[in-house]
Amino acid sequence: MDKFVTRTRKRTMEDGGKDLHSKRRKTSLTETEKGEEGKSPGGEFPRPIPWRKIEADGLDCDYGLLFSREEADGLYSSLEQEVEYFSGDQAKVRVFGKLHSVPRQQATYGDEGLMYSFSGVHLLARPWTQTLAYIRDAVTKATGHTFNFVLINRYRDGLDHIGEHRDDERELDPLGPIASVSLGATRPFVFRHRDARGKAPGRRKLEPVRLELAHGSLLLMNAPTNTYWYHSLPVRKGVLTARVNLTFRRVLRDRRRGGQIVISATGPHSVTQETFSTGTPVPPKMI
């Protein structure tokens, strides 16, 4: 079994420190305490939240509690009022000529002209809401990275899920991280190395990396994580409450399309399929 390690940075945030510590014990990770603020791939993190480094073969992530429980509760409530999720045919994908419902709710927001496209459906990003802009700016202050697009997935309960996939679309900044903010129910998040998938005789024996993404947390997936590791949010029947996940991204403007961005979930970089509980294979989705 290949080893992976987490390095815990000094906790400087009163709210949430205890929760992070308890979650860390459940991940069965090797831990190294550090007495000074850690560095992101681009240098010092601007905001001294309790960052924890998570590393494996080709996996590089940073995890911490971005918001206190009280603030996270308020943001969750605001998003429940503000976010407009896709409905009707926009909430479905077409596979082999048939429409299938996506097992979660989705919405896209971002800078003017950005578009999310998959399975022949083109969804223009709505303008930033006040709450989404606040969360985006908090992520920027914490990480030093800017983002111009967010994909929102709302999991109504433990039956809503997302299958194994990689967020490696060619329209994304290849050197920019993907910042994942979790609000609501705590759900397990699983990374699996691309060479450890399937049942081929030559596959590598690499154990999955499992995390519990807490209410108010931020997971920063740095390059080259999405090149080598798939991630998923599996079904958990015992979870009865909702989880809202916001993945902030930096997409590149394509001048050939008049400044619009098309984030493709069915292009040449999409090499996996998500499977619904019915067993029907459908194109991958970003988490």
pLDDT in tens, 152-207: 999 999 999 998 888 866 677 778 899 999 999 999 999 999 999 988 888 898 99
24 membership: H or E segment, kind and range? helix 17-26
Determine the pLDDT at residue 242: 98
Q: How confident is the model at residue 255 (pLDDT cuts 50, 70, 90)?
A: very low
Q: For 18-48, give one letter per residue: b (16+ CB within 10 A) or e.
A: ebbeebbeebebeeeeeeeebebeeeebebb
Which phi and psi angles does 248 have, rounded to 5°?
Answer: -85, 135
For residue 117 the two structure tokens come to 């496209």
Contact predicate 249/151, CB 8 Å: yes
Mean pLDDT of 263-272: 34
| Helix, strand or coil, per DSSP, at residue 211 | strand
177 located within any domain:
yes
219 located within any domain:
yes
Contact predicate 207/2, CB 8 Å: yes
Mean pLDDT of 4-21: 41
CATH of the domain at 10: 2.60.120.590
Which phi and psi angles does 19 have, rounded to 5°?
Answer: -60, -40
Closest to 274 (Cα-Cα) out of 196, 139, 199, 162: 162
88 located within any domain:
no
Closest to 276 (Cα-Cα) out of 162, 107, 166, 120: 162
Determine the pLDDT at residue 47: 63
Determine the pLDDT at residue 50: 84
Distant-in-sequence, close-in-space partners of 53: CB < 8 Å, separation ≥ 6: 5, 6, 7, 8, 9, 38, 61, 62
Cα angle 224, 234, 63; round to 5 = 45
Rounded CA separation 110/129 (Å): 9
Determine the pLDDT at residue 118: 58
pTM of the full structure: 0.75
Rounded CA separation 162/153 (Å): 9
121 located within any domain:
no
pLDDT in tens, 44-101: 676 668 899 999 999 999 999 999 999 999 999 999 999 999 887 777 777 677 778 8
Binding residues for substrate, as ranges, are 96-98, 116-118, 168
Binding residues for 2-oxoglutarate, as ranges, are 153, 155, 165, 231, 243, 247, 249
Q: Is 48 left (phi over 0), alpha (psi -120 to 50) or beta?
A: beta
Cross-sheet strand order for the sheet of 162-165: 162-165, 229-233, 187-193, 209-213
The domain total for the chain is 1
90 located within any domain:
no
For residue 3 the two structure tokens come to 């080893």
Binding residues, as ranges, are 96-98, 116-118, 153, 155, 165, 168, 231, 243, 247, 249
CA distances from 132 to 24, 106, 109 (A): 28, 14, 8
Domain containing 22 equals 5-80+127-250
75 located within any domain:
yes
pLDDT in tens, 107-146: 999 999 887 665 556 778 999 999 999 999 999 999 999 9
Determine the pLDDT at residue 129: 98
93 located within any domain:
no
